[in-house]
């Protein structure tokens, strides 16, 4: 197995040594046996992924931990570790290995990067482990293993049967209405059996959730929705800030989704805010509320005895769903990857009239796009130990100009395409006008040498290390401005071409920047009735009292 060797800087080395062990990070000495190290790799893979650095020693002196860099003498010295790791955790299958070297420090430190796994990963002792905080714990009981398999979506609670009479789903009002509209030529029980919603003459959990009139009576505390309205912007709501007793939404899943969305929108529209015309209703995009609530109820872990909680605050909505993200899904990849914990539920509910999940697999992306259209902050998603929480904040995004300048704080230049992506604005014209406003305020300038189709902008005075004359051009701006003004002492007008000949500047865009700087200082102005292509500049005319 070929392992890349990467040389790190002293700053990167210090960052590694000073980092705290956590849910996502651990350090081990080269003296630790590979079989023991496998436990930590298994733990990270079964949890949320992480990094393991092998070759870091740790001493405790007077109660204070100090870490030291002491890696493998050479790559061959790590062969024993790598052989075992490759057997259990193959390179490229969610695992990557890198040797790190630092000048002045001994040996090669092996960095193991582990992604969250799709399945249950065992260590060399055939036991799966789980990372919890800075601990790595063995999964010893069948119950704990079953919980892990459910968390990862390997086993699905929706496919399990429940010991109740078939009539609960075969003669319900829900199935009667569904069959009459969707498949009127068949009988309810026959159709349910074909869809694998009846197994061994018992209904599955999915069948109960979809087609029982009152699933909550059969699965108490496993499938309810509670909605709270808190009159506060505080981090947590309290009994004192609760507007009214929490509302419980029950019924079959299809009706539950519809009612939860409708109630949430109703309560949100009652929240006042101060606007240009006095008190106005807060406006959230209904698509975002619809998609996030739908996503929560379709993909929640129904094996957990807890309700879905929707908390409406004065400045945000919080939706908390029981269960971890399934399979390999993480907060970072949730918009790009797909994994259905409840595949049968997702598939069958899409057959209902006007299904809540019309665009299967696009729900959260639609929510993010809807927030961006209203210039609101994107939803925030995070995991607790037992749940997934989504925050929909009623906070405006920074202005277009502020977003552009923020991007340029970290990047050398920006294009219209990049700016549209950063701001969520689709219109090229809107972004172009923002660029012009920033240019006219003397904050940005066009990048010389870029064609219109590939036009880019940068902060005024940006140094281009690849260009020999970039520094001198900027430093020479005052001199060039003076040359332009001296020319206008003896001449009424000046064009871009004349100014370039006068200053020796090759770039028309760079010359424009000098004109704009002089205009912003109130020294020159465009000659009226001249086309932009043939733009001409003159000194600002001074009108005297006798004129």
CATH numbers and ranges of domains, the chain: 4-140 (3.30.950.30), 157-218 (no CATH), 225-393 (3.30.565.60), 400-539 (1.10.10.10)
pLDDT at 542: 55
Please state, in angstroms and rounded to a whole number, the distance separating the CA atoms of residues 109 and 91.
17
Q: Above 80 in pLDDT, residue 536?
A: yes
Q: Which two tokens stand for residue 415?
A: 């294009």
Long-range contacts of residues 356-365, Cβ cutoff 8 Å, at least 24 apart = 356/254, 356/257, 356/258, 356/261, 356/290, 356/294, 356/298, 357/294, 357/298, 363/291, 363/292, 363/294, 363/295, 364/291, 364/292, 364/295, 364/334, 364/335, 365/335
Please state, in angstroms and rounded to a whole number, the distance separating the CA atoms of residues 100 and 104.
13
pLDDT digit string (tens) for 57-112? 988 877 788 899 999 999 999 988 888 888 888 877 788 899 999 999 999 999 99
pLDDT digit string (tens) for 56-69? 998 887 778 889 99
Under the banding of pLDDT at 50, 70 and 90, the label for residue 475 is low
Under the banding of pLDDT at 50, 70 and 90, the label for residue 282 is low
Q: DSSP for 2-67, please give it.
A: --EEEEE-HHHHHHHHHPPPBTTEEEE-TTS-HHHHHHHHHHHHHTT-EEEEESEEEEEETTEEEE
pLDDT at 173: 96
Q: Write down the number of H helices and E strands in the chain.
A: 20, 25
Q: Which residue has the higher pLDDT, 345 or 511?
A: 345
pLDDT at 209: 96
Mean pLDDT of 203-215: 96
Q: Above 80 in pLDDT, residue 523?
A: yes
pLDDT at 362: 63
Cα dihedral angle (371, 372, 373, 375), rounded to 10 degrees?
A: 90
Under the banding of pLDDT at 50, 70 and 90, the label for residue 332 is confident
25-39, 474-488, 514-528 — most confident range: 25-39
Under the banding of pLDDT at 50, 70 and 90, the label for residue 543 is very low
pLDDT digit string (tens) for 415-431? 998 988 777 677 888 88
pLDDT at 223: 94
Q: Above 80 in pLDDT, residue 507?
A: no
Please state, in angstroms and rounded to a whole number, the distance separating the CA atoms of residues 493 and 534.
12
Q: Which of 11-15, 133-137, 238-242, 461-465 has the lowest mean pLDDT?
A: 461-465
Mean pLDDT of 359-363: 58
pLDDT at 454: 77
Cα dihedral angle (145, 151, 152, 153), rounded to 10 degrees?
A: 110
Under the banding of pLDDT at 50, 70 and 90, the label for residue 399 is low
Q: Above 60 in pLDDT, residue 360?
A: no
pLDDT at 503: 81
Q: What angle do CA 36, 40, 44 make, to 5 degrees?
A: 160
**Residue found by looking up tokens 């800087």 in the block:** 9
Q: Above 90 in pLDDT, residue 29?
A: yes
Under the banding of pLDDT at 50, 70 and 90, the label for residue 31 is very high
pLDDT at 139: 94
Under the banding of pLDDT at 50, 70 and 90, the label for residue 206 is very high
The secondary structure of residue 235, as a DSSP letter, is S
Q: Above 50 in pLDDT, residue 225?
A: yes
**Residue found by looking up tokens 């129904």 in the block:** 302
Please state, in angstroms and rounded to a whole number, the distance separating the CA atoms of residues 491 and 131.
77
């Amino acid at each position: 197995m070929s392992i890349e060797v990467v040389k790190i800087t002293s700053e990167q080395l210090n960052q590694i040594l000073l980092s705290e062990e956590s849910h996502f990070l651990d350090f081990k000495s080269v003296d630790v046996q590979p079989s023991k190290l496998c436990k930590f790799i298994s733990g990270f893979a079964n949890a949320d992924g992480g990094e393991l650095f092998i070759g870091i020693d740790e001493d405790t002196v007077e109660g204070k931990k100090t870490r030291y860099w002491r890696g493998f003498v050479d790559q061959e010295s790590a062969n024993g570790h790598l052989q075992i790791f490759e057997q259990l955790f193959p390179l490229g299958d969610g695992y990557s290995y890198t040797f790190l070297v630092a000048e002045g420090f001994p040996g090669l430190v092996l960095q193991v990067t582990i992604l969250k796994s799709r399945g249950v990963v065992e260590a060399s002792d055939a036991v799966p482990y789980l990372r919890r905080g800075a601990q790595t714990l063995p999964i010893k009981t069948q119950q704990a293993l079953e919980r892990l398999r459910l968390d990862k979506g390997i086993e699905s609670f929706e496919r399990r049967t429940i010991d109740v009479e078939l009539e609960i789903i075969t003669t319900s009002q829900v199935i009667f209405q569904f069959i009459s509209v969707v498949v009127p030529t068949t009988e309810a029980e026959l159709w349910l059996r074909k869809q694998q919603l009846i197994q061994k003459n018992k209904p599955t959990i999915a069948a109960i959730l979809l087609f029982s009139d009152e699933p909550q009576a059969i699965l108490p505390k496993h499938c309810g929705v509670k909605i709270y309205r808190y009159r506060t912007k505080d981090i947590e709501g309290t009994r004192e800030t609760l507007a009214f007793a929490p509302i419980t939404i029950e019924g079959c899943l299809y009706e539950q989704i519809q009612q939860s969305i409708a109630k949430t929108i109703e309560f949100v529209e009652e929240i006042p805010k101060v606007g240009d015309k006095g008190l106005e209703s807060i406006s959230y995009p209904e698509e975002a509320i619809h998609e996030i609530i739908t996503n929560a109820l379709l993909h929640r872990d129904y094996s957990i005895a807890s309700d879905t909680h929707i908390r409406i605050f004065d400045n945000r909505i919080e939706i908390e769903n029981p269960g971890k993200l399934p399979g390999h899904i993480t907060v970072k990849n949730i918009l790009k990857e797909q994994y259905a914990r409840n595949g049968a539920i997702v598939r069958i509910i899409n057959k209902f009239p006007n299904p809540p999940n019309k665009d299967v697999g696009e729900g959260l992306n639609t929510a993010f796009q809807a927030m961006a259209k209203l210039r609101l902050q994107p939803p925030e998603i995070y995991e607790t130990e037992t749940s997934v929480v989504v925050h929909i904040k009623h906070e405006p995004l920074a202005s277009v100009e502020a977003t552009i300048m923020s991007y340029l704080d970290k990047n050398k230049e920006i294009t219209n395409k990049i700016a549209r992506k950063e701001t969520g604005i689709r219109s090229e014209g809107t972004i172009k006008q923002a660029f012009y406003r920033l240019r006219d305020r003397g904050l940005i300038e066009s990048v010389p040498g870029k064609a219109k189709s590939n036009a880019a902008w940068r902060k005024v005075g940006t140094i281009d290390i690849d260009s020999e004359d970039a520094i001198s051009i900027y430093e020479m701006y005052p001199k060039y401005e003076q040359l332009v003004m001296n020319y206008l002492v003896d001449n009424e007008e000046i064009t871009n071409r004349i100014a370039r000949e006068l200053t020796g500047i090759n770039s028309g865009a760079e010359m424009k920047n000098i004109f704009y700087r002089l205009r912003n200082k109130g020294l020159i102005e465009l000659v009226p009735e001249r086309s932009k292509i043939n733009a001409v500049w003159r000194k600002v005319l001074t009108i005297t009292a006798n004129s």
